[in-house]
Each structure stands twice: as C-alpha cells, then as structure tokens.
Amino acid sequence: ILHRSGVSPRRTASNVAGSSGVSKRVERITYNTHAVIAEAIDAGGSTLQDFRGVEGDDSLGYFPHNFGAYGREGQMCTKSDCTGEIRRIVQSNRSTFYCPSCQN
C-alpha cells in the first residue's frame, strides 16, 4: 500500500498526515488500501505460508504475485516510471521492503 502510494515506511504517522490532518499522502493511502483489499480478495488472499483454507483445503492465495515491493530486495522497482532498487529495512524486528527512489 505504501509502495503504491509513494510513501516511505520511514515516515511517522504525523508526518504523513501533515499539519492540516488530511494530505495527498493520506488520500493516496486510503485509495490504495481499498484497491489492495479488493484485489487481494479477488486473488484469493495473500498467503505467505502454508495454511488451511476456509474450505479445509491447502489452497494458497495468489495476491503475492502482485506485491510491488515485499520480498523483492535487490530487484528493480516495479513502477514503470522508476529506476530505483528495492531495499529491505528492519522495523520492530520485522522486514519492510521499499523503494527509496519513489517512496518519500
């Protein structure tokens, strides 16, 4: 969502919102959150490891094929107008992937 929105994961929430409370960044994040949820549901979810599906089967979701940054460390950014390289940082002991060129 942040990758699609062009927002750095290093930004604090107050910096994303800006002094007025609602900024272009907030609008992009809101729009892309709705879009990503709808796309993920259509693709069967975003399973990152084995699990039992709601039908009791071992089916996997296919939304990870649409990830723009997650798990792509060292690869080129997927945005057509960007020539940056995806980087990995650790925040609260969790991996975060982002493009420093188009996410600011």
Write down the domain spans for the chain: 2-98
Model's pTM, two decimal places? 0.74
Query: How far are the Cα atoms of 7, 11, 94, 100 from residue 91, in angstroms, in the given order?
Result: 16, 12, 5, 15
Chain-centroid distance, C-alpha 68: 7
| Ordered per-residue pLDDT tens for the chain, 104 residues | 999 999 999 999 888 887 776 789 999 999 999 998 888 777 666 555 555 555 555 555 554 556 778 888 999 999 999 999 999 999 999 999 999 999 99
Among 3.40.50.720, 1.10.10.1100, 1.10.8.50, 3.90.1300.10, name the CATH number for the domain at 2-98. Answer: 1.10.8.50
Task: State the Cα–Cα distance between residues 101 and 11, nearest whole angstrom.
Answer: 14
Tokens of 78: 């997927």
pLDDT of residue 63: 47
Sign of the CA dihedral running 22, 23, 24, 25: negative
pLDDT of residue 73: 93
